[in-house]
Amino acid sequence: MRIYCTSKVYQRNMTKNLQWQPNTSFFYLQARAALYQQIRAFFLARDVLEVETPALSKAAVPDCSITPFATQGQHPELGTLYLHTSPELPMKRLLAAGSGAIYQLCKVFRDDEIGRFHNPEFTLLEWYRPDFDDMDLIAEVDQLLQEVLNTSPAEIYTYTDIFQKFTPLDPLFSPLETLQDYAQQLGLQDSQIFDRDGCLQFIMAIKIEPQLGHTAPCVIRQFPASQAALARKCIDDPRYAARFEFYVKGIELANGFYELTDAIEQRQRFEADCVQRDKEHLPALPIDEHFLAALEAGLPDCAGVALGVDRLLMLQQEVKHIQEVIAFPTDKA
C-alpha cells in the first residue's frame, strides 16, 4: 500500500529547507568546461581517439581496495550490474580490437569514497597508448600537466627511493614487524593485523604523499608487484611492477601502468584478488571474462593511465575541497 502526504504546508516546509542550489559557482563550471576543451585539444593534436564505453557491467575488478556500486536489473537476463569504477577493461577490449590510441572522459563510481579529495561519483580521464612503455607515458602526462597547470618538468623517483628519502624503511626488505611499528607510530590502530602492503599504503598516505610535488610534479614508479594488479612486472626485477603515480602539491593525481598483456597471468591475479576478498569478508565479484578473452586474442604492447579530473581542476583553480568544483556532490544529488 502506498501512502501519500497531502499536506501542502508540510510539502512547502520540506521544499523550503532543501539546499537545492549548486555547490559550486558558475565560474568553476566555466573553468571545468575550459579544462575539458584543453584536454580534448591536447589529444586531438596527438591523434588520440576519444571513445565511450558502458558505465554498467556484469563484471567488476576484484581489487580489495575499491568498492563498486551494484544494482539489480529488473529484466531477468540482466542480473546484478555494477557501475564501473574505471573504464579500463572495456577500453582494453577496444585496443585488442585494433582501435589504436584512445582516451575517455567519463563519470566513474566508487563506494565508501567521501572526503576532501573524494566524491563517490567523479570524473576520470583515462588514456592508452600502443607502443608506449611506462616512461613514454610518464613523459606525456608530464606534458599535459605543463599545459594545464603550467608546472615545471616532473621529478621521478622509484618507490624504494621515495621511502628511503622520507622514512628509515626499505619497502621490500624491512621486516613486517618494523613496518607495523612505524605505521602504529603514525596513528594506525591495530597495526599488527595489517599485512606488508597495508602498512606500506598507510605510511605512503600519511607520511610521504603530503610532502610530494610542491615544487614540481612528483612521479613514483616501480611499485612492489603486489600493488600493481594490472601492470606487468619489471623484467630486470620481478619484485617490482611497471606502475607509476603522479603527485602534485601532495595530491595523488594519476595512476598508470605499462600494461600486462598475458591473459593467464591476469586471470591468476584476478583469482588471487577474489581469494583475498573472501579472506577480508568482502562481497564476491564476478571476473570479467570478456576482458580476459580480449587479452587472449591479443592486447597490443601499450601503457595506460587514469587521471582524476576533479582533482586536476582543484589544482588548476587552487581550491581546497573537491566539493568546490562539483555542481552537485553526492549528498546533494
Backbone φ/ψ region at 298: left (φ over 0), alpha (ψ -120 to 50), beta: left
pLDDT in tens, 58-83: 999 999 989 999 999 899 889 999 99
Residue 297's pLDDT is 97
Is residue 5 pLDDT above 70, yes or no? no
Name which of 48, 185, 54, 186 is nearest 128 in CA terms: 48
Name which of 103, 94, 89 is nearest 61 in CA terms: 89
* First vs last C-alpha separation in the chain: 28
Domains of the chain: 25-154+216-332 (3.30.930.10)
pTM of the model: 0.92
Average pLDDT, the chain: 94
pLDDT in tens, 157-175: 999 999 999 999 999 999 9
Is residue 100 pLDDT above 70, yes or no? yes
Residue 76's pLDDT is 86
Name which of 179, 224, 227, 175 is nearest 199 in CA terms: 179
Q: How much is the average pLDDT of 328-332?
A: 91
Residue 19's H or E segment, with its range, is none
Share of the chain above pLDDT 90, in %: 88
Residue 8's pLDDT is 63
pLDDT in tens, 116-126: 999 999 999 99
